[in-house]
Amino acid sequence: MKKKVVEKSVETKGPGVISSILEIIRTKGPVTKEAILDELCKRFPDRKKESMNKTIQAQIGGKKSPTRMEKEKKIKFVIKDDKYSLSPAKK
């Protein structure tokens, strides 16, 4: 049996989970990881909650600073009481 190859349309793709994490922190910060996960579940109801939680952990979690997202996006987070916000831009 041959398998059908289904191609996803590039035109229908919107912002992904990683860019949504940054947008949530930027617009709603300071925000907890749990609040970020809740918002992602609303934006991406077709994706697994556990998978999105792992993405959050990989991007902004962990004990090392700078986090993966800080390095890749060249930004700086302020983490206070387990709430994430963006550091104000230096003048």
Could you tell me if 85 and 35 are in contact, meaning their C-beta atoms sit under 8 angstroms apart?
A: no
Taking the C-alpha atoms of residue 87 and residue 89, their distance in angstroms, rounded to an integer, is 6
Taking the C-alpha atoms of residue 8 and residue 50, their distance in angstroms, rounded to an integer, is 23
With a threshold of 0.85, does the pTM exceed it?
Answer: no
Instruction: Kindly give the confidence (pLDDT) of every residue in the chain, 91 residues in length, as a single tens digit, with 9 standing for 90 and above.
Output: 666 665 555 455 678 999 999 999 999 989 999 999 999 999 999 999 999 999 999 999 877 778 999 999 999 998 899 999 998 865 4
Could you tell me if 77 and 87 are in contact, meaning their C-beta atoms sit under 8 angstroms apart?
A: yes
**Domains plus CATH for the chain?**
15-86 (1.10.10)
